[in-house]
Amino acid sequence: MKNIIILFLTTFLVLSCSSNHIIDINEDNSATVKFNTLNKESLVKTLYEWGAIDSNNNGSIINPKELEKGLERNYSISNVNVESTIKNRYSGSFNVSNINNIFYNPLINIPDNNKIFSITEGNGDKTFKINLSIDNYKYLKEFLPILKLESIDMLGPDANQGISQDEYMEMMSFSLGDDGPNDILGSYINLKININGTITSIVGGKIENNSSAIFNIPLLDVILLKKTLIYSFTYN
């Protein structure tokens, strides 16, 4: 089971393919998060070949209850529900008491300018910001210690700062087969963030119906973190 969890988190955080998330943020910065993740066939095939898929999970990579347990370890997260009604597709939802604390680890003092998700206020406006870089990735690893394991770390940004995108894709072709690189290049983390108010400006995305921000983040950018990823919007 430990190896299955490791491989799933690799899939979900590093090589996950179709990933859609809806975040409804309330006025007090609490939020509801809904997600839907579908793993591509090239990755599933590799996991089968590795013997990493437990027959007790009806062909799914991991039992959804294991995912629920992982999310529930965060003190700010509640009402967790994860389902896998279709093979290799996971969907679910959870509540967050404060969106600023979604990646919070009480044992680590994260500087405000290194928070991955944050909401700041000023001049009557609020600004929601996503900030992910090689500098604050270490805090994500503290929040999810499993990312420190060699089998996962070798696929992530820390271990691949010295290689080019082409070299990384060649490695993925060897690991996942000929379809692997195209699956990764065609994969995005899709975020739709709804707020109670009016969005006045946005960076890295588009505004929908004045109160929703849409971000389509290339998965490869997250895997390699060759540059700081910043996405934000201001609203009132």
Q: Mind listing the pLDDT tens digit for each residue in 118-129?
A: 999 999 999 999
Domain ranges for the chain, please list them.
2-235
Predicted pLDDT of residue 6: 39
pLDDT confidence of 145, banded at 50, 70, 90? low
What is the reported pLDDT for 142?
67
Q: What average pLDDT does this structure show over 13-29?
A: 78
Which comes out higher in pLDDT, residue 212 or 42?
Answer: 212
pLDDT at 15 over 50: no
What was the pLDDT predicted at 22? 96
Q: Is the pLDDT of residue 173 over 50?
A: yes
Q: How far apart (Å, rounded) are the C-alpha atoms in residues 160 and 91? A: 30
What mean pLDDT is predicted for residues 94-117? Answer: 80
Count Cα atoms within 13 angstroms, Cβ side, for 70. Answer: 18
According to the model, what pLDDT value does residue 32 have?
Answer: 97
Q: What is the pLDDT of residue 49?
A: 59
Supply the pLDDT for residue 107. 60
- Confidence label for 1 from pLDDT (cuts 50, 70 and 90): very low
The whole-number pLDDT of residue 12 equals 43
Looking at residue 71, its pLDDT comes to: 76
pLDDT category at 151 given cuts 50, 70, 90 is low
Provide the mean pLDDT of the chain: 78
C-alpha distances in Å from residue 225, one per residue of 19, 20, 91, 216: 18, 20, 26, 16
Which string of DSSP letters, residue by residue, matches 183-199?
HHHT-EEEEEEEESS-E
Query: Tokens 């499993």 appear where?
Result: 146
Tokens 């003092």 locate to 109
Res 180 pLDDT > 50: yes
Distances (CA, A) of 24 to 76, 91, 134, 193: 16, 16, 27, 6
Classified as helix, coil or strand, 46 is helix
Whether 3 has a pLDDT exceeding 50, the answer reads no
Taking only the tens place, the pLDDT of each residue in 193-227 is: 999 999 999 999 999 999 999 999 988 888 889 89
Give the pLDDT score at 149.
62
